Amino acid sequence: MKTLVKLLAFLVLGSVALVAAEAPKKNWTPPAHKIQAQVLSDQIMAAHPELISITFHGVPPGMSKVYTMFAGSFPERIGNPDDPDDVMIIELGITILDPRWHRLKDPAKKFVMMMPLRDAAGENVGLLVAAYKNPDFSPTGSNSKLEAEFFAKGTKLRDELQKQIPTYESLFAPAK
């Protein structure tokens, strides 16, 4: 019986260690209070049922080269380090249209717009990622019309949002 208890304890503890090892290491901890960027994320998700998710990325004020997701529709991911493509968008100000083609882990049921996040003055201050539902994707047909539609939707959403961002730092202010 003691051997069985030890074996079960080993299996449980081993599973916990495995889960902990698979979780991405956070590079930023949000404040205890809700920040303004999270309010914007919540508002966007409520107003846009065509979205799967919306996330805000950048370097939190007072930090240097710590690229992280600081607000979004998946709160458990807040503080996760950004991927190289995220950093590239933040640093270079480019836009990536990602139809998710040939992704075994993440099939084309969504279309991801990765675009510079802008403040009210039009300055690139971070990254905004909008993942849209993509029920019309065709793995064998032309999707260029869909890409143009998602590009138009994504940039319109981003451009409307920038009016609500007086400064980058204001995204980290306590929620109003």
pTM for the whole thing?
Answer: 0.82
> In angstroms, how far apart are the furthest CA atoms of the chain?
70
Q: What is the pLDDT of residue 141?
A: 62
Instruction: State pLDDT tens for residues 3-52.
Output: 433 433 433 344 444 444 566 799 999 999 999 999 999 999 999 999 99
Q: Is the pLDDT of residue 1 over 90?
A: no
Angle at 72 between CA 139 and CA 150, to 5 degrees: 35
pLDDT tens for each residue of 47-82: 999 999 999 999 999 999 999 999 999 999 999 999
- CA 42-43-45 angle, to 5 degrees, is 65
Whether the Cβ atoms of residue 126 and residue 58 lie closer than 8 Å to each other: yes
pLDDT in tens, 86-96: 999 999 999 99
Measured in residues, the chain has a length of: 176
The single-letter code of the amino acid at 60 is P
Task: Provide the pLDDT for residue 105.
Answer: 61
| pLDDT, mean of residues 124-128 | 98
What's the pLDDT at 114? 96
Instruction: Read off the tokens for 68.
Output: 């992280």
> pLDDT-based confidence at 111, cuts 50/70/90?
confident
Q: What pLDDT score was predicted for residue 139?
A: 63
pLDDT at res. 67: 98
